[in-house]
Amino acid sequence: MMGTDWWIVVAVAVLLLGWHLSYSAARLDRLHARVQGTLAALDAQLVRRAEATLELANSGLLDAASALMLASAASESLAIAEDEDTDADRQRFSHERESVESDLSVALGHALNADSLSVLPHEAGFGDDILSRVTATGLRVQLARRFHNDAVTDVRRVRRKLVVKWFRLAGYTEMPTTVEFDDALPAGLRG
């Protein structure tokens, strides 16, 4: 009787370990899928921000130098977004993309500081509509980046667990990275 009890305990332990490994692998898979989703959402918001910025640059509201600076930065953002759009399974942005997006934020900050906004013509609310679109897209970029970075933090936390490392539950999936760039709203648009 003693030998039979030992095998039951071993069988239950193996079943529990198998269930735990299966649960952990499925959870990790869901977290990686969440990272891909948040990265795609961030990409979409960055494209919308660049499009709104390009619309502002072409609106005639800004001086020529500011309009040219914004158009250049927005066009570069749209071009790199199109280049990086080929890999659906990616878990990260390139450092070049982060740099380009920071450059767009800086350009917006220079063009839309509090002093420059006070001299903009606001004919029939036209300028207000474009500026509110730039503000809204900027806020959505901040939120999307925050959600993505939270998802990456969750994946990293789970992948640090010993059971995930020992049994290679992550397989060959790349470790995702946070997206770090300047996404601050221009001083003139904060309110």
**Mean of the per-residue pLDDT values for the chain?**
89
Domain ranges for the chain, please list them.
34-161
Indicate if the pLDDT at residue 77 is higher than 90.
Answer: yes
Q: Which of 121, 123, 140, 130 is nearest to 57 (CA)?
A: 130
How confident is the model over 104-162, as pLDDT tens digits?
A: 999 999 998 857 665 555 554 667 899 999 999 999 999 999 999 999 999 999 999 99
Residue 141 has what pLDDT?
98
pTM reported for the whole predicted model: 0.89
Residue 3 has what pLDDT?
61
Confidence of residue 86 (pLDDT cuts 50, 70, 90): low
